[in-house]
A and B are shown apart, each in its own frame.
Chain A
Amino acid sequence: GDSVTQMEGPVTLSEEAFLTINCTYTATGYPSLFWYVQYPGEGLQLLLKATKADDKGSNKGFEATYRKETTSFHLEKGSVQVSDSAVYFCALSDLNYGQNFVFGPGTRLSVLP
């Protein structure tokens, strides 16, 4: 079946550092890709998405590009803030092949002042 792999962390950065969280996937078909963020004590929130190759999703300074050739959807931010400390989940959905949502294990990010 389809699967998502991401670096599990934890990742610890200083404020204003550059962030990359790697995500790769395996899928039978042509999935849609998502990044979710979970702040302490809260549910998962959609951060950004991309639905076809070379699409770039962006939100709140975060970006990720759908790379079909490398089956990747890496999350990046140029300058992280303390408020970005959270757990980040990569996910895919492939309804064409009957595959509903598959989540990666999550990556915990801690940003230090």
Chain B
Amino acid sequence: DAGVIQSPRHEVTEMGQEVTLRCKPISGHNSLFWYRQTMMRGLELLIYFNNNVPIDDSGMPEDRFSAKMPNASFSTLKIQPSEPRDSAVYFCASSSLTIGQPQHFGDGTRLSIL
């Protein structure tokens, strides 16, 4: 079975540009999570969705960040405008809303803002 698919794998862009990260969760999973990982701050939960509805976005750093999940098989994380401090690895993960079931992570998007 295909795992969580993220695109692009790498993104390099200049500050001020809009960045869109994409995620396709595992089919049948109904929870989706966006994380950011840096050396300084470790793994941070940005937002998660249950059944396509945002449940907790308290981890979204500021209004420049937005996330959508228009259907069960696709989600985006957008940064506009981007800043150098947004440079990080962004992970998407999915799971089923079932007790004891783990999260499954994608390979991440390595974002560099120049």
**A-to-B contact residues, CB < 8 Å:** 32, 34, 36, 42-46, 49, 51, 89, 91, 93, 95-96, 100-101, 103, 105-106
Q: Are B31 and A103 in contact (CB under 8 A)?
A: no
Q: Pull 22 A–B residue pairs with CB atoms less than 8 Å apart, ordered by A.
A: A32-B99, A34-B102, A42-B107, A42-B108, A43-B4, A43-B106, A43-B108, A44-B93, A44-B105, A45-B105, A46-B103, A46-B104, A89-B43, A91-B103, A93-B102, A96-B99, A101-B95, A101-B103, A103-B43, A105-B42, A105-B43, A106-B43
Nearest CB on B from A19, distance (A): 21
Q: Are B42 and A49 in contact (CB under 8 A)?
A: no
CA–CA, A72 and B30, complex, Å: 29
Interface of A is mostly: strand
Interface of B is mostly: strand
Q: Are B33 and A101 in contact (CB under 8 A)?
A: yes
CA–CA, A5 and B104, complex, Å: 21
CA–CA, A69 and B72, complex, Å: 39
Nearest CB on B from A87, distance (A): 9
Please give, as numbers and ranges, the residues of chain A lying within 8 Å of B56 by CB-CB distance.
100
Please give, as numbers and ranges, the residues of chain A lying within 8 Å of B98 by CB-CB distance.
95
